[in-house]
């Protein structure tokens, strides 16, 4: 029997083409609710589910699923209960590597955009409020000479560090907050001498820009809470391109409103696509709709990886990028 793929939402054409070539594809016409998706996965009609990071693949779905694999169209896989999948013998795959630079670009864009008040500036021009050069118009913060604190030191954090160093920033990092882990000189690779490891509390206290690059798990849920925000410099900015729930968004809104920190640049939110009450009204924010990996070449590469994972899983082979080998 040819492989049967269930796809919750169309992925870019290069990935869809590989799936159509490899077997039978069922592309859902609209996003299914949890009950509908569970029933489809339990039907025995599909070998592999190709999921988006906004599909919740929890223990209740996996417990009744008759699938060989779940291929996530994302590098993050916090939407999937991986231990529950493993217990059921279901392989999970993701799309690492290809979105590193694009996501680091967005982190850098948010650093620059918050520092230089780009949204306020753009709004002023569009609303007809620009009345000519003014010595004190929209003065922002410097980036060069400032401290970038990285929470995490994986691929995207390192790529952000390279960009920040090129902008003259002093880069410090904590590799696995809130826990400690020493990164050796050898592991630093090309970043040796350009970045400094510090305990998490010192990264928080020293950062002019604190950028989040940790996966979402039970250790990092609300890693940045009211107490961490209070420990940041009053002139500091919070940048998040990782996962929304790493930041307590209600606490962030309060901190931004009360001037505890200067601003925030966010690509991800605690309850996407909802925003915490009041966040959208704050002028000292740059708010993007989770577009870290959203370039045409990157999304095409992610689609090819997701399809390659799905095709291998359907054949009972180890996929190129398994999460639970």
d(CA 169, CA 209): 10
Active-site residue (options: 68, 243, 299, 321): 243
Q: Is 243 a catalytic residue?
A: yes
The four Cα atoms 19, 318, 45, 82 give a dihedral, to 10 degrees, of: -110
DSSP assignment of 99-153 equals THHHHHHHHHHHHHHHHTTHHHHHHHHHTT---S--TTTT-----TTPEEEEE--
Q: Is 281 a catalytic residue?
A: no
Among 59, 60, 61, 87, smallest CA distance to 6 is for: 61
- Residue closer to ligand DGY by CB (options 52, 315) is 52
User: Cβ 172 to ligand DGY, closest distance in Å?
Assistant: 24
d(CA 133, CA 126): 16
- Residue closer to ligand DGY by CB (options 75, 279) is 75
d(CA 316, CA 95): 19
User: Cβ 54 to ligand DGY, closest distance in Å?
Assistant: 10
- Residue closer to ligand DGY by CB (options 75, 214) is 75
DSSP assignment of 217-275 equals STTTTTSB-HHHHHHS-TT-EEEE-S-GGGB-HHHHHHHHHTTSSSEEEES--TBTTB-
- Residue closer to ligand DGY by CB (options 24, 105) is 105
User: Cβ 53 to ligand DGY, closest distance in Å?
Assistant: 6
User: Cβ 322 to ligand DGY, closest distance in Å?
Assistant: 16
Q: Is 68 a catalytic residue?
A: no
Neighbour tally for 11: CB within 10 Å: 25
d(CA 297, CA 191): 26
User: Cβ 43 to ligand DGY, closest distance in Å?
Assistant: 28
Count of residues for the chain? 325
Active-site residue (options: 163, 213, 290, 299): 290
Provide the binding-site residues for ligand DGY, judged by CB under 6 A: 53, 74-76, 99, 292-293
- Residue closer to ligand DGY by CB (options 206, 293) is 293
- Residue closer to ligand DGY by CB (options 204, 247) is 247
Active-site residue (options: 155, 162, 196, 272): 272
Residue 48 φ/ψ, nearest 5 degrees: -135, 135
User: Cβ 321 to ligand DGY, closest distance in Å?
Assistant: 12
Residues forming the active site: 243, 272, 290
């Amino acid at each position: 029997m040819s492989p049967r793929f269930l796809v919750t939402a169309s992925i870019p054409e290069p990935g869809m083409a590989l799936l159509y070539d490899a077997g039978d594809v069922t592309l859902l016409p609209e996003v299914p609710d949890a009950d509908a998706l569970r029933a489809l996965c339990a039907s025995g009609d599909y070998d592999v589910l190709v999921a988006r990071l906004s599909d919740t693949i929890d223990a209740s779905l996996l417990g009744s699923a008759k699938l060989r694999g779940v291929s996530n169209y994302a590098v993050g896989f916090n939407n999937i209960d991986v231990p529950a999948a493993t217990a059921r013998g279901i392989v999970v795959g993701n799309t690492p590597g290809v979105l590193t630079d694009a996501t680091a670009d967005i982190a850098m864009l948010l650093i620059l955009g918050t520092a230089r008040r780009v949204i306020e500036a753009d709004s002023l021009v569009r609303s007809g409020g620009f009345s000519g050069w003014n010595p004190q118009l929209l003065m922002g913060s410097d980036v060069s000479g400032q401290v970038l604190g990285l929470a995490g030191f994986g691929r995207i954090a390192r790529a952000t560090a390279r960009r920040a160093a090129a902008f003259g920033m002093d880069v410090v990092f904590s590799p696995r907050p809130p826990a400690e882990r020493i990164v050796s000189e050898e592991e630093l690779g090309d970043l040796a001498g350009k970045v400094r490891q510090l305990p998490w509390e010192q990264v928080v206290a020293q950062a002019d820009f604190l950028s989040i690059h940790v996966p979402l798990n039970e250790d990092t849920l609300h890693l940045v809470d009211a107490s961490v925000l209070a420990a940041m410099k009053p002139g500091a900015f919070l940048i998040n391109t990782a996962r929304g729930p790493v930041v307590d968004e209600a606490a962030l809104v309060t901190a931004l409103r009360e001037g505890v920190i200067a601003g925030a640049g966010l690509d991800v939110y605690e309850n996407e696509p909802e925003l915490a009450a009041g966040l959208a009204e704050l002028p000292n924010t740059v708010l993007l709709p989770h577009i870290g990996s959203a370039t045409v070449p990157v999304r095409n590469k992610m689609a090819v990886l997701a399809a390659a994972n799905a095709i291998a899983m359907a054949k009972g082979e180890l996929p190129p990028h398994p999460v639970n080998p």
